[in-house]
Amino acid sequence: MRNEEKNTRIFESTTMVINEQGINQFTLDKVAERAGVSKGGLLYRFPSKERLLKGWSHYVLALFTTLVEEEEEKSNSFATAYLQATLRSLESAEMKTFMTVSGYQAEEQFYEGWKEFYAQTIVKLQEETSPELASIIQLTCDGLWLQDAFQFESSYRAQAKQLVSYLQKLAASDFDR
């Protein structure tokens, strides 16, 4: 099995262990067992829990970036793509787990890549919309992830779809100006 495939299996197992048992019960032993690799093999790739979580964070970012790219190919609008990718990500165990873990993770390295992605997102949104609308879109997506992670309200997904649809229309009309 190739390194990339093993890492993917380890990252998928990380998501499952945290989802099923919670961040407080997350151990390298459980991830190794779930991934079907030896603990030594896991430690060779990720010498600590922190290094595993950092690698996993980059994996989740890559998944979300792929969603945005797929949506952008369909719509030719970054704002629409970002909104649609956010909606799709609400169905993703990885994003839900990421939001949960980020509440426990204070280390700067965990967020490497995300800060750059976030800054690039604002720039791309502002290329298509006004700075105010770009901020509204960004903050709305952040709020949707937070609401999903903490399951504040059971009916929010229907509301999320309506909100995203409204913001897409608003972005399209703002872009046309």
Options 3.40.980.10, 1.20.58.100, 1.10.10.60, 3.40.605.10; CATH of 1-47 = 1.10.10.60
C-alpha 69/C-alpha 82 separation (Å) is 9
The 10s digit of each residue's pLDDT in 70-102 is: 999 999 899 999 999 998 988 888 988 888 787
In CATH, the number for domain 49-176 is 1.10.357
**What percentage of the chain has pLDDT greater than the value 70?**
91
Kindly report the pTM of this predicted structure: 0.85
CATH 1.10.10.60 residue ranges of the chain are: 1-47
Spatial contact of 81 and 71, defined as CB atoms under 8 Å apart: yes
pLDDT for 176: 52
CATH 1.10.357 residue ranges of the chain are: 49-176
pLDDT for 58: 93
